[in-house]
Amino acid sequence: DPMPAATAVDRIGWGWGVIGLLRDRGVKNVISYDSAEKARKENEFANRRVEDYWKLRTLFEEGRISIPKDDDLVGQLGALRLKEPDNKGRMQMKSKKEMLADGVESPDKADSLCICFSVRDQAYIARDNGSRGYRSGKSEFELNNEYGWMAV
């Protein structure tokens, strides 16, 4: 059976068990992802989640990403919101708990896409092959607009 080059799993919640099962079954290169970890650029971002979503946003902004035509995924990306910077001036975004309090469901598909790009940049890089996925045509995004900061 073919094995993926890598398998990234969000280790928060059910993820710990999934990681264990995959490793027990011989899946190689299982990557444990934790969005609450400190950011690589910890002076700019409050945690890894906001840093990785900002990276994903930048890929859309540059037109370097193409995603499947999936209204749920696009809606989840558009529902993400930034918050005021933390007390150190670092960028932060609403947590899943805060989103739920606002009546927004967990952005599971968006998280999967974000995690994918966090661990392997080339997974969904846009190619000029006439694919029917969504592709960003905007050169600038407003941070605080009614469409959210990930709008495509």
Residue 86's pLDDT band (boundaries 50, 70, 90)? very high
Tokens 């941070």 -> residue: 143
79 three-class SS = helix
Q: Quick one: 104 exposed, middle or buried, by C-beta within 10 A (0-12, 13-18, 19+)?
A: middle
Task: Indicate the pLDDT class of residue 127, thresholds 50, 70 and 90.
Answer: very low
Q: How far apart are CA 11 and CA 121, in angstroms?
A: 20
Q: Model-level pTM? A: 0.75
30-36: long-range contacts, CB 8 A cutoff, minimum separation 24 = 30/6, 31/6, 31/7, 31/119, 33/8, 33/9, 33/115, 33/118, 33/119, 34/10, 35/10, 35/111, 36/12
- Mean pLDDT, range 21-37, rounded to an integer: 89
